[in-house]
Amino acid sequence: MTLVRVPCAVCESDEFVELHPATIEDRDADPASYFSSSRERAGYLPIVRCTRCGLVMQNPRDDKATLARVYGALSDSKYEEEDTSRSLSAREHLAFVEAYQPQPGRLLDVGCASGLFVAAAREKGWQAAGADASVWMVERARERCPEATFEIGTLETLEFPREAFDVITLFDVLEHVDAPHAALARLHGWLRPGGVLCLSVPNAGSWTARLMGPRWVLLLREHLWYFSPDTLGKLLARAGYELVGVRMKWVSFSLNNVVTRLAQYPGVVGRLSARLEGNRTLKRLPVRFPMGEMDVVARRLPG
């Protein structure tokens, strides 16, 4: 494991001010223990803001090799336990896509996880395919939706023909990637001119983030970048896209999932939550709330 300092992903400045000090004290612990819904621990490395453009990010953070190792080997049984609520989220994301691209066409879901969104899209007539860095996730996706194509790889290793897709989706993905500008530029080549790019990312400008401060639940080691509509719009423009729409994202989980996440934190709340984790009644109780994320749509510009 190596921690590295990186420049701002939007403007490439190396001037930052610290917003929140690190909550991770054991720097020698396996980074994988802080990743995915099945994480054993919750915490983050220093959170800083770029003094030039305002991008919020984690710096220093895990290096590229560590991220590749963790995501390639990732398995996430807790993710699968939320099948019902995640299926609802998949249908809501599809409705968001179809508001900007009503006619079903060729769709690629990057970071497809266990294939719920691809399955929902194919049910509505989309020629949908998926890709994910996790072998475990892609195996689940192929079992769920055997008629679809799922590729294993990262945005650096995947290969698709130029202008092969009408829509590309990255739900809860861009905040995890090593180099967001390079990732968006690569997607630009796979998307037809005028094609739709849909993303969901943590919103550092949300009222949830501002209200919770250092206790914002999306401040996690696995999240490298915390965009706002302004900083994401600038990044998209650099990569050849036009920002079209932004909306606040609502998430749906079982109450047991909320308790499970709280149990990952140290202290009294974590210990009390751990006692409730796995309760059958809580697994049947859905909750819906804004966690401080945004859904974003952009269009690929010509060129």
Q: What is the pLDDT of residue 288?
A: 74
Q: How confident is the model at residue 251 (pLDDT cuts 50, 70, 90)?
A: confident
Q: What is the pLDDT of residue 264?
A: 67
Q: Is the pLDDT of residue 281 over 70?
A: no
The proportion of the chain whose per-residue pLDDT surpasses 70, expressed as a percent, equals 85
Question: Of 176, 86, 92, which Cα lies nearest the Cα of 134?
Answer: 176
The proportion of the chain whose per-residue pLDDT surpasses 90, expressed as a percent, equals 74
Q: What is the pLDDT of residue 37?
A: 77
Q: Is the pLDDT of residue 84 over 80?
A: no
Tokens 């990743």 found at = 35
3-class secondary-structure state, position 81: helix
Q: How confident is the model at residue 29 (pLDDT cuts 50, 70, 90)?
A: confident
Rounded distance between C-alpha atoms, residue 70 and residue 210, angstroms:
30
- Least confident stretch, 22-36, 67-81, 109-123: 67-81
Name the pTM for this structure: 0.90
Q: How confident is the model at residue 184 (pLDDT cuts 50, 70, 90)?
A: very high
Q: pLDDT tens-digit profile of 152-167?
A: 999 989 999 999 999 9
Count up the domains in the chain and report the number: 1
Q: How confident is the model at residue 278 (pLDDT cuts 50, 70, 90)?
A: low
Indicate the average pLDDT of the chain.
Answer: 90
Q: pLDDT tens-digit profile of 191-202?
A: 999 999 999 999
Residues 221-229 have a mean pLDDT of: 97
By residue range, what is the domain housing residue 292?
Answer: 3-300
What sign results for the dihedral spanned by CA atoms 13, 155, 91, 115? negative
Q: How confident is the model at residue 75 (pLDDT cuts 50, 70, 90)?
A: confident
| CATH code of the domain covering residue 103 | 3.40.50.150
Q: What is the pLDDT of residue 285?
A: 62
Tokens 């336990």 found at = 81
How far from 109 is each of 3, 57, 60, 114, 141, CA to CA, in Å?
30, 25, 29, 11, 12
What sign results for the dihedral spanned by CA atoms 157, 124, 300, 234? negative
Question: Of 25, 24, 7, which Cα lies nearest the Cα of 16?
Answer: 7
Q: Is the pLDDT of residue 292 over 60?
A: yes
